[in-house]
Amino acid sequence: MRLIFFLLLAAISIPVLAFLAVFSGAESAPLCGDRPVVVSGAGAAAFQAGITRMGADVARGRAATATFDESQVSSSASTLIRNTPSVDVSGLRVCFWGDARQVEAIGAVLLSPIPWRVRLSIAGAPDLTGTHPRLAIRRVQVGNLPERVSNLLVTPLTGVVDRALAQVAIPFPPLVSISDGAATLSVGPR
């Protein structure tokens, strides 16, 4: 009788543990290297103030430049995501990697219909040349799935990311310069 109980317990436990190991991801993995990223209302306000200053300079025909750190952009992106009902992401962080000239968004995405959050990382090159930002996705990582399996989600996730970014209008297309920990937006005189 004990043997049947242990076999039944193993038959249930092993698939559940395998699912958790593959999809949960390492929550303790460092985000943005070892750089601290703090999401706050003040960070979102600083981001918006920088964009507003740039807009005012551009409207006067002047060159404009603003540098935003990962905390400011993460704060602003978190606000945007909270206001997007079709996207359920928690713990969103945006990282800038200068050597690869790319942006990485990391967060926990709610899987439907099961109430489970999966760590998701999307990295790519930002494109701010149009009326809305875009992200040319280069890499996707879902939990602990192998990268070649995770990358099968590039096409479907591109649509989700494009729909979320369609809410953001770009009144003046800036040049983007990415360094580790920050992005600088520049617009020439008009």
Q: Which domain holds residue 69?
A: 38-187
pLDDT at 113: 65
The CATH number of whichever domain residue 42 belongs to comes to 3.15.10
| Residue 1, domain member (yes or no) | no
Which tokens belong to 23?
A: 């999809």
Phi, psi of 78 (to 5 degrees): -65, -40
pLDDT, tens digit, for every residue of 137-163? 988 888 888 888 888 888 888 887 888
| Residue 20, domain member (yes or no) | no
| Residue 132, domain member (yes or no) | yes
Measure the CA–CA gap between 54 and 65, rounded to whole angstroms: 7
| Residue 56, domain member (yes or no) | yes
* Nearest CA among 117, 119, 161 for reference residue 137: 161
pLDDT, tens digit, for every residue of 172-181? 889 999 999 9
How many distinct structural domains can be found in the chain? Answer: 1
Which tokens belong to 28?
A: 């303790």
* Nearest CA among 75, 76, 73, 53 for reference residue 63: 53
| Residue 135, domain member (yes or no) | yes
**Please, are residues 71 and 38 in contact by the beta-carbon 8 Å criterion?**
yes
Specify the pTM. 0.79
Measure the CA–CA gap between 172 and 190, rounded to whole angstroms: 10
| Residue 151, domain member (yes or no) | yes
| Residue 159, domain member (yes or no) | yes
| Residue 110, domain member (yes or no) | yes
Q: What is the mean pLDDT of residues 41-52?
A: 95
